[in-house]
Amino acid sequence: RQSKEGKIIYLELERNQKYAGPRPYLSKIVFRFYNEEKELISAYQKKEIKGFSLSSIEKLKGYSLGNLNTYQFFLPRYFALFFNPEKSKILADKNVREALNYGTDKVSLIEKTIFGYGKQVDSPILPELYGFKSPSKIYQFDQKLAKNLLDNAGFKQNQQGTREKIVKKKPSFQFKNELKVGSRGEEVRELQKCLAKDPQIFPENQISGYFGEQTKKAVIRFQEKYKKDILEPFGLKKGTGIVSKATQNKLNELCFPQVEEVLHMRFSLATVNQPLLLQTAEIIKEQWKELGIEIKIDTFEPSFLEKEVIKPRNYEILLFGNALTMIPDPFAFWHSTQTKDPGLNLAMYKQKEVDKLLEESRKFSVLTEKQKKLEQLQDIIIGDAPVVFLYNPSYLYFVSNEFKGIEAKTIPTPSQRFSQIEKWYINTKRVWQ
């Protein structure tokens, strides 16, 4: 049935009397459509519908729905924090990535976000879904270990409690060779430029690339000006005019000093503007704050996130989900050829052995043959820590307790919860009249 505007109000399906299999118990089912979840819950309270699903179980807060049964269906999907080391060189450090794994309390996260209706995820292939072995390594929550790893990576906590690392950058040029009268080349040219910075030392300012008498006199003036560092350690009173080691060191110090860069441990975390993921991002932010890490959360509408953030890989950390298939094939998520759109390698992960295992696993149609390759793959990926795997939220279906025969199991898509609806029934009593 449709409204005057053409919107579907409800869809009624009747039992197929000619169905070849066992005859369904229910004579018909009706699907009703609502604009908002509040309307959906209200319809259940009015006994207009017998079952429904919601985007979050939190939406049921404040409602009295005691006669509901909650069925948890397992979907082949997971949510994770994907690191992009091409946007943040800090994330290129394995110690940092491991620290972020150890510093994430997944148990608390699952309780606070999905109220325990889901599973902790520790592997890229969901081994329990396919009957594979669990990974050999799991990052159990350990704040102390996480902090030690960050210390080992050189990130120390400052007075404000945030972490930073001082990195000394090599100068673009350094004097390395002995220079004297008769020397030529680029190093002599740099010497003359350096000496010319002080007009009292090299007033002629002749940048020729040839070490002549004028350059020698300038070197002598330089040596005598800084005699405490260049001459006196060797018992000399007058300059030699030869650019040897001590002179080189002073020239390098003054003209090409080492540059110090301070790396602050702060990241931007991009995710979709959706309640569950927003709450997840906020909890991660608080958990990592305990480690001395700052997080800036950037939220986007789904279409913008896909086009402007995910496709160009324009993020440092991405909180997002991967949906797997019932037949395991993680090629699109982890092969190095899939780091660019339309590939789904969101962690920009590149590992030759993993590429090989992914390619080999595709050659086998038998699941047991694929299993060996994918179990090896999961251990390598987990060891490299390119992501923090988080959780797999259950798909929740709320049904009146008068209905029986509903079996919660693994399903590829939410619509598959009706795959065995012919077994559903309502307890009835025969009344004699």
- Average pLDDT on 402-427 reads 91
Is the per-residue pLDDT at 313 higher than 70? yes
Non-local (6+) Cβ contacts of 232 within 8 A are none
pLDDT above 70 as % of the chain: 98
* CA atoms lying within 13 Å on the CB side of residue 383: 10
- Average pLDDT on 282-286 reads 98
Tokens 């279906």, residue? 397
CA 175 to chain centroid, in Å, comes to 43
- Average pLDDT on 111-127 reads 95
- Average pLDDT on 152-168 reads 92
In degrees, rounded to 5, the angle at the alpha carbon of residue 247 between the alpha carbons of residues 242 and 250 is 160
- Reference 79, options 111, 109, 115, 44; nearest CA is 109
- Residue 432: the pLDDT is 56
How far CA 332 is from CA of 128, 310, 325, 341, 342, in Å, comes to 20, 14, 12, 10, 9
- Average pLDDT on 249-259 reads 91
- Average pLDDT on 282-288 reads 98
pTM for the predicted model, two decimal places: 0.82
Is the per-residue pLDDT at 334 higher than 90? yes
Helix (H, G, I), strand (E, B) or coil at 27: coil
Reported confidence tier of residue 172, pLDDT bands at 50, 70, 90: confident
The one-character DSSP state at 75 is P
* Residue 305 CB coordination number (10 Å): 22
- Average pLDDT on 40-55 reads 91
